[in-house]
Amino acid sequence: MDTGEIVFMDQLPDILQTLVFGLAQGGIYALIAVGFTIIFSSTEIVNFAHGEFVMIGALVSYWLIMVLGWPIYLAIPVAMAVAMAVGIVLGWVLMRPLKESSPVSLIIITIGSSMLLQGIASMIWGKDPVNVRSFSTVESLSIQLPIMQSGTQQPALLIVETQQLWILGIALVVVTALSLFFKYTLVGKAMRAVAANRHGAKLTGINVSRLVYGAFAMAAAIGALAGAAIAPLSSGFYNMGTMLGMKGFSAAIVGGLGNFPGSIIAGLLLGVMEKFGAGYISSAYKDAFAFIIILAVLIISPRGILAFRKRGKS
């Protein structure tokens, strides 16, 4: 009984450390999930190219910051603008066949776009991972915990990278801004109306296609921001978007597509579970985790998800 408690106290610093890593990773997933949700709720398209916005954010900001020496506060908005431009083009490509085409053709178009963007990125930046410096000059903080390191008389340390704080901060700001946007602005309300009833929204004079472009631009910008934020932690490379996109999508599904707070919580949860899974179960299979979650959620509660779909459609 006692020993159990001691073992737990011994492991506490490790657990806290893993938690911090998990939350930061989860913040990225949450940002990506939000982008998925924005596009899905205004177009019913699951955008397989969404991870490429993240990649664009990471690599463009790398290029501006590390190669051209731009300051970060200038580089990131430019990287977001580039992603927005790409997003609008993608929206335009998808809108053309959207009216009568099947989900299959739309899926294939987004996969094609994803491959195209990856190919272009690897032509520009090559295939090797690149490193970006973190947003703050102080890279990490050590926090003394009020418990002792096991076996020693020294206080345990919790190491927090400032970039991780940045990520969590950004996630918080983006979510708050989005909630306000969808609740209080006319455009936000219109987007919600389109999501709820596309046909009806058209009848009330809402310009649906402009809103779709808006959704793509917004999702792209958020994705690029996530990419710029994760690059200093895990480097950037041409196909980084594939895996990040998948994880973000699984968070979006777990959170209930179209549900912003749900996406955020699910993203954070996924990040934390993944880090704990990697640390305590198997690091080799950590990537399988997100997919098992996707399958489980789809299989266990397809009705919940389908119910959402119906509501979105009729």
Partner 1 sequence: MKRFIASPLFAALCGLLAIILIPECVANNYQLGVLIFIGIYTLLAVGLNLLMGYAGQVSLGHAAFFGIGAYTSGILTTQTHISPWLAILIGIIITSGVALLVGIPCLRLKGHYLAMATLGFGWIVYIVINNWKSVTQGSSGITNIPNLSIGPFQFSSDISRYYLVWGIVIIVLLLSANLVQSRVGRALRALHRSEDAAASLGVNIAWYKISVFVLSAAYASLAGSLYAHTVNYISPAPFGFIGSVEIVVMVVVGGMASIWGALIGASSITLLVEWLRALGQQNPKFQEFEIIAHGAILIIVMIFMPMGLTVGIRDSILRFFQRMQKKLAVAAKEKEQVTK
Q: Tokens for 179, please give them.
A: 């909630």
CB of 219 to partner 1, least distance (A): 16
C-alpha span between 53 and 80 (Å, rounded) = 9
CB of 178 to partner 1, least distance (A): 22
Q: Looking up tokens 């489980």, which residue turns up? A: 296
CB of 95 to partner 1, least distance (A): 11
Q: How many other CB atoms are there within 10 angstroms of residue 253's CB atom?
A: 25
- Binding region for partner 1 (CB under 8 A): 44-46, 93, 96-97, 101-105, 107-109, 111-120, 122-123, 242, 246, 249-250, 253, 282, 284-285, 287-288, 291-292, 294-295, 298-299, 302, 305-306
C-alpha span between 287 and 277 (Å, rounded) = 10
C-alpha span between 287 and 83 (Å, rounded) = 26
CB of 47 to partner 1, least distance (A): 10
CB closer to partner 1, 112 vs 169: 112
Calculate the CA dihedral of residues 281, 287, 292, 297 and round it to 10 degrees.
110
CB closer to partner 1, 190 vs 215: 215
CB of 282 to partner 1, least distance (A): 8
DSSP for 143-188 reads: EEEEEEPTTSSSEEEEEEEHHHHHHHHHHHHHHHHHHHHHHHSHHH
CB closer to partner 1, 86 vs 165: 86
Q: Which of 11, 23, 9 is nearest to 161 (CA)?
A: 23
The neighbouring-strand residues paired with 295 are: none
C-alpha span between 284 and 301 (Å, rounded) = 28
CB closer to partner 1, 269 vs 294: 294
Write the CB contacts of 170 (distance below 8 Å, at least 6 apart in sequence): 27, 31, 225, 226, 229
CB of 290 to partner 1, least distance (A): 8
CB closer to partner 1, 162 vs 301: 301
CB of 216 to partner 1, least distance (A): 15
CB closer to partner 1, 156 vs 294: 294
C-alpha span between 116 and 235 (Å, rounded) = 21
CB closer to partner 1, 166 vs 249: 249
| φ, ψ for residue 45, nearest 5 deg | -100, 130
